[in-house]
A and B are shown apart, each in its own frame.
Chain A
Amino acid sequence: MYQIVTKRRLNDIVTLMEVAAPAVAAKAQPGQFIMFRLDELGERVPLTISGYDRDKGTIEIIFQHMGRSTKMLAQMEEGDYISDFVGPLGKPSNFEGMKKVCVVGGGVGCAIGYPAAKALHDMGVEVDMIAGFKNKDIVILEDEMRAACDNLYLTTDDGSYGEKGFVTDKLKSLLESGKGYDTVFAIGPVIMMKFVSAVTKPFGVHTVVSLNPIMIDGTGMCGGCRVTVGGETKFACVDGPEFDGHKVDFDELMKRNAFYKEQEQKAGEHICRLTGGVRVG
């Protein structure tokens, strides 16, 4: 059992938690993820490690209340226990040789991009960050992000905060202004990563995306997380989750992620009405 030691609501639909998992914390590196299972009836759900504290033995996760499992997790409180919490999974980010980087985050993806930005910044790499949100109300981690990079560019789709527009618009204008990034990290919804990769391609800027296919085990034994990268089949949980954005078949990934949509939607409605969420203490 793994205890929730802190819980912080970042906005209406995003929650941060620190979970006591000393063995995972001892090994965690940026770019890796964990899988949790709430209780005996739960699914195994992957979440990126957004931070870790080796001394305290805790792992930080930031998640959007998407469907059944994440909604139920969001209803748990400090001191409660999660049945299973396994990791660190996936390959750590490879920051080798990077000198000037732009991290692009979309929505909750900012939470996942933020540790990468921080790690790079701490290494002395020049880091810009573009963080995009739908509107002002859901902006998260602004201070943390600002502290983790040289320039933070905040955008909202409706212009209610920061600059109006999509992250891709901002990225394009920065690239055009001759920023000369050697690498762009894009982390967020698949559609956003697809368009970021399309923007960087003509500039020939190496682009890393963090993929989020549906997973079961996270150890390479089911193949459910397979993605097509450069025409080859890769298992995102062991070969990734980070890949070269210019080689990923995003359309296929979007289709695959929608496979259980109807079933999940029903399950998601079901929890709110019937159990109010939490099944276990």
Chain B
Amino acid sequence: MLANMSPKKNPMPEQDPLVRNKNFEEVSKGYTKEMAMDEAGRCLNCKAKPCVSGCPVNVRIPEFIHAVAEGDFDGAYEIITSTNRLPAICGRVCPQESQCEGKCVRGKNGEPVGIGRLERFVADWHMENGKEAVKAPVSNGHKVAIIGSGPSGLSCAGDLAKEGYDVTIFEAFHNAGGVLVYGIPEFRLPKAIVRREIENLKAMGVKVETNTIIGRTVSVDELFHQGFEAVYIGSGAGLPQFMHIPGESLLGVYSANEYLTRINLMKAYKDGYDTPIAKSKAVAVIGGGNVAMDAARCAKRMGAETVYIVYRRSEEELPARAEEVHHAKEEEIIFRLLNAPVEIHGDDKGRVCDMECVEMELGEPDASGRRRPIEKKGSNFKLDVDTVIVAIGTSPNPLIKSTTEGLEANKKGCIVADDAGATTREGVFAGGDAVTGAATVIMAMGAGKKAAESIKAYIASKQ
């Protein structure tokens, strides 16, 4: 078969930017069968498979793409899911440009193969057309507790349940899914997809106990007393950071976590839900990552006329997925790069009325290897906004660490775990954002997968 030598990816069908910035329906519509097969034809089936090494869970990329090219979508699905449980999610949210696609040889001379788009296509196709029903395997009687129902908890649970372990997921919130349900908005990741993955796990026999806060409702020690032989901590990095500048307690200043939770988990955007949220006209979102992009795009969809992204470095350093930055710009989000907030001002009722910023320039590289932003003295100016959303990062919640004897965390509050997920406490494993600090869905999944292997070995060693 002759490769498709087009230098460009098949474009993704998308909602028009000025239509979609007023609704919460998914931005990207996904490839058709024809587009997928055409795109698959761009893969050169390289012997060295650089793309595979770029993927944190080593999806067998050329193999699955080859199956797509042949029109064998079931086969492609099987190949992907042999290493990645949640392709419908990863295909949508992985930062492909710095992972799989970043290593693709086609990217040297044009655009890389649309690996993420193909992965999404295969998963969506399977969701609609897949036949085999999920079955609960025969139980092996070994009980494992998973704390947190984000991607790392879900993947750990899935890998264990598949082999008959008796798995219970404990989730603090009333819905399972972690950041996938409370953080990442519907227009980027439809919640029906997450719900389906959780239903699949339940069909495999996994129990999901929502409204259960480990460290409050039940402690890790009590889980062992209840007969769980091992515990996996996938509790994420949910603690919001603030900037500690004057004015952060004014009305209309939100952490991105609060703003996004109100909208995504508590559905403030939908009629009929009781959740209140600010009716903003002009919004400044501080930060440049995925969280900031999501908050800004939500604010626009909630009716704000003007939405700024205020980021203290330059475009090059924006940590968000390239696609999200591109989409945000199309949706008329205004980027104020090399700007940093100094103080938020309020009116006599304590409501935000503007945010004072200062211009920055880039100096020498700092410890992170990125050029350090330096304030330009006297360049202060004001942005007229009524809402400020702080999206400058999160760290792990100290609750589990502080209620579990013998569990160590580092200075940043991240639980200490080795490569295999073992913590300093016997029988307790951890992974995902709880260990690394805020990272990515696929890294969290990979960690959950590795820990599942370690848990199997640990339980076997105890027999």
* Residues of chain A at the chain B interface (Cβ within 8 Å): 23-24, 27, 37, 41-44, 68-69, 83-89, 216-217, 219-224, 226, 228, 233, 238, 252, 255-256, 259-260, 263-264, 267
Contacts and interface: CB of A to CB of B under 8 A. Distances in A.
Given A219-B399, A222-B261, A255-B350, A89 B275 contact: no
Given A222-B255, A233-B248, A23 B218 contact: yes
Contact of A221 (B216, B239, B242, B276): B239
Nearest to A279: B272
B249 A222 contact: no
B211 A86 contact: yes
Contact of A41 (B218, B240, B272, B276): B272
A86 B276 contact: no
Contacts of A226: 242, 249
Contacts of B249: 226, 228, 233, 252, 256
Interface of B: 172-174, 210-213, 216-218, 238-240, 242, 244, 248-249, 251-252, 254-255, 257-258, 261-262, 266-267, 272-276, 278-279, 349-350, 397, 399
Contacts of A41: 267, 272-274
7 contacts: A27-B218, A84-B174, A85-B211, A87-B217, A216-B266, A221-B239, A224-B255
Contact of B261 (A23, A87, A217, A264): A217
Given A24-B217, A217-B261, A256-B251, 4 more contacts: A85-B211, A223-B255, A233-B249, A256-B350
B275 A43 contact: yes
Contact of A216 (B172, B244, B261): B261
A220 B397 contact: yes
Among A217, A224, A233, A264, the one with the most B-chain Cβ atoms within 10 Å of its Cβ is: A217
Contacts of B218: 23, 27
Contacts of B255: 222-224
A265 to B, nearest CB: 11
Contacts, number: 100
A87 B217 CA distance: 6
B82 to A, nearest CB: 34
B248 A86 contact: no
Contacts of B279: 263
B349 to A, nearest CB: 7
A263 B276 contact: yes
A72 to B, nearest CB: 9
A85 B213 CA distance: 11
A248 B274 CA distance: 30
B211 A220 contact: no
Contact of A86 (B217, B240, B261, B273): B217
B242 A219 contact: no
B258 A87 contact: no
A87 B218 CA distance: 10
Contact of A23 (B217, B258, B262, B399): B217
A50 B378 CA distance: 55
B265 to A, nearest CB: 9
Nearest to A221: B238
A223 B239 CA distance: 8
A120 to B, nearest CB: 23
B350 A222 contact: no
A226 B248 CA distance: 10
Contacts of A27: 216-218
A220 B238 contact: yes
Contacts of B261: 216-217, 221-222
Nearest to A266: B276
A223 B240 contact: yes
A109 B353 CA distance: 34
B216 A69 contact: no
Contact of B258 (A37, A223, A233, A238): A223
A68 B210 CA distance: 24
Among A68, A85, A223, A224, the one with the most B-chain Cβ atoms within 10 Å of its Cβ is: A223
A180 B216 CA distance: 36
Contacts of B251: 255-256, 259
A89 B173 CA distance: 13
A219 B210 contact: no
A69 B350 contact: no
